[in-house]
Structure 1
């Protein structure tokens, strides 16, 4: 086990390096970088001030200073190596446009994404696992058919479309819920009970839009896992000994059937802290990690793009290792030889 963990940890290094190299190379060929944007703005401003034609060129010295300001005066390999040395110290750099460290931006946007991710995660599992068990026990019944239809319809509707419908119906026409934001403008002046109520009032619609599509896979996976266990010999033997269906389900089948669910639990739980849904955050005016990533790509804010990519990729690789180790914790028969 120790050798397996060591090999997996060592494999993280080339995997992470490959992801960074690929994205860094792509960045070099994407037009409209920060230096080009600033040069364009200065050129247009100078043309308006002087009254001359647009598209005038700046002094080469000014162009060199602007490129040096963003670090583009150095060769690409040197910039890449400098970025790697920073990342090795967990220094993610500083945003080009917001005058803040990338760490500060992540910490600033993280609470919104945590709110969406954790509520979506817990509600999805609390609905999906019991529903999957009930569907397996009643496989082929009318309940199974109706719930499958509901689950598939919810999975097929994009979260953004569902969010728009929720906003129009419950936020616009009925005015039961607010249209934007995570809290009200007077949230600081409210009591603790009123703050909790106000927060839940604001979070209901975006979480609903995210949950309806996310629990479908878990529910169907739970159902199929239990159906597979029902057909195994040890279940037939337990029933032949006179055990009730409830005893067979909870004492014999439950642990084995939940192996696929439990092993994916760490990745889903950690992902909830860093989940940013761009469309939902934009629709409900929630300033989270999804919106930060989108704006960084659009504005070519490369330190934010590469810094968040490095951090989230590293967390994803470590979480994948933890998920694989959970197989051994849940089922000791699993060996990583």
Structure 2
């Protein structure tokens, strides 16, 4: 096990290096930079943009150096675990990320748990009663959830449940007026603010997990060990959930690993619509303000999360299925 983990970690090094270089090239290829954004904002107050001002800003931000020197400086900082400084926000990138990662983790993990639990359960039920009215109804609902754009759904949730019915808050993570209340009241307030963004983020994934679980369960229910379990007199819930679902869930774990990669992309839309103070909103602000150091660091940390998740899933595969062996 230890040798396998060490080998996988060594394999991650060139992948991380390639991702960092590709992110840097793509961001630098986009027009404009932080100096132009700051100068444009200053021009709205003082007048026209002065080229000398842009040049001074580029020099102070280190943007006047050749691109290959900027790339080497960026890679050198990463080698020492230094994420750099955000000139736009006036704080170290590590502090900005640390202040926001908790909110994104809460939103992302909540939506993931909702998606996996509800999606897997619906998929297993549809596979058990395949081609029934229940199966057709759930499949039609999942097709609808799969096709609805996330940003449109978020706006509709805001309009219906936040503005029209006023059941849930639609802005931020906490109610400022409850800052002085006890701990449990603040926890309930955060959870109440979490309902709409987490539900919106989970809808698409619920459809994906349900459809994938159904297909995997249909194949599992036709295996010989299922007929053997039924011939032993085991109850149908035990056959479906203990035997069939345990083997059908393994391919679903692959989807969970890919879900982590899509988590940041989905949270950017959701956090922007609901003003959720997480990494998604911070990424949006970094893109708008052309804060290169901040954007590169967020993308770098996202890639590390995806690779770490893939390693954990490989270990989990071996734990759930004794036929899978982690070779050195």
Distance apart, 1:263 and its partner CA: 5.3
**Residue 97 of structure 2 corresponds to residue 97 of structure 1:** no
Q: Which residue of 1 aligns with 2:294?
A: 304
Q: 1:132-211, aligned counterparts within 5 Å?
A: 132-211=123-202
TM-score w.r.t. the length of structure 1 is 0.86
Q: Which residue of 2 aligns with 1:51?
A: none
Distance apart, 1:270 and its partner CA: 9.5
d(CA) in 2 for partners of 1:271 and 1:26? 19
**Residue 313 of structure 2 corresponds to residue 323 of structure 1:** yes
Deviation per residue, 1:74-105 (Å, 9 max, x gap): 32222212211211121100102111111111
Which of these residues, 224, 231, 243, is aligned with residue 234 of structure 2? 243
Q: Would you say the 8 A contact 2:104–2:279 is kept in 1? A: yes
Q: Would you say the 8 A contact 1:118–1:269 is kept in 2? A: no
Distance apart, 1:197 and its partner CA: 3.3
Which of these residues, 274, 298, 314, is aligned with residue 304 of structure 2? 314
Q: Would you say the 8 A contact 1:95–1:301 is kept in 2? A: yes
Deviation per residue, 1:205-255 (Å, 9 max, x gap): 222222222211111222222211111122223333443333433443232
Q: Would you say the 8 A contact 2:260–2:305 is kept in 1? A: no
Distance apart, 1:2 and its partner CA: 5.2
CA RMSD of aligned residues (A): 2.7
d(CA) in 2 for partners of 1:271 and 1:142? 33
Q: Which residue of 2 aligns with 1:222?
A: 213
Deviation per residue, 1:304-328 (Å, 9 max, x gap): 0111122211221122122123222
Q: Would you say the 8 A contact 2:35–2:57 is kept in 1? A: yes
Q: Would you say the 8 A contact 1:133–1:226 is kept in 2? A: yes
Q: 1:1-337, aligned counterparts within 5 Å?
A: 4-39=4-39, 48=47, 54=48, 57-58=51-52, 65-262=56-253, 264-265=255-256, 277-335=267-325
Q: Would you say the 8 A contact 1:276–1:288 is kept in 2? A: no
d(CA) in 2 for partners of 1:55 and 1:332? 66
Distance apart, 1:193 and its partner CA: 4.0
d(CA) in 1 for partners of 2:229 and 2:43? 81
Distance 1:205 1:228, change over 3 A: same
Distance 1:259 1:207, change over 3 A: same
Deviation per residue, 1:123-168 (Å, 9 max, x gap): 2222122222111111111111111111111221122212222222
Distance 1:257 1:142, change over 3 A: same
Distance 1:233 1:282, change over 3 A: same
> What are the ranges of 5 or more consecutive residues in structure 2 without an aligned counterpart?
none
Distance apart, 1:300 and its partner CA: 1.1
Q: Would you say the 8 A contact 1:125–1:218 is kept in 2? A: yes
| Larger CA deviation: 300-309 vs 199-208 | 199-208
TM-score w.r.t. the length of structure 2 is 0.88
Distance 1:134 1:72, change over 3 A: same
Q: Would you say the 8 A contact 1:276–1:291 is kept in 2? A: no
Q: Would you say the 8 A contact 2:157–2:196 is kept in 1? A: yes
Distance apart, 1:118 and its partner CA: 2.1
Distance 1:176 1:57, change over 3 A: closer
> What are the ranges of 5 or more consecutive residues in structure 1 without an aligned counterpart?
49-53
Distance 1:195 1:248, change over 3 A: same
Distance 1:330 1:166, change over 3 A: same
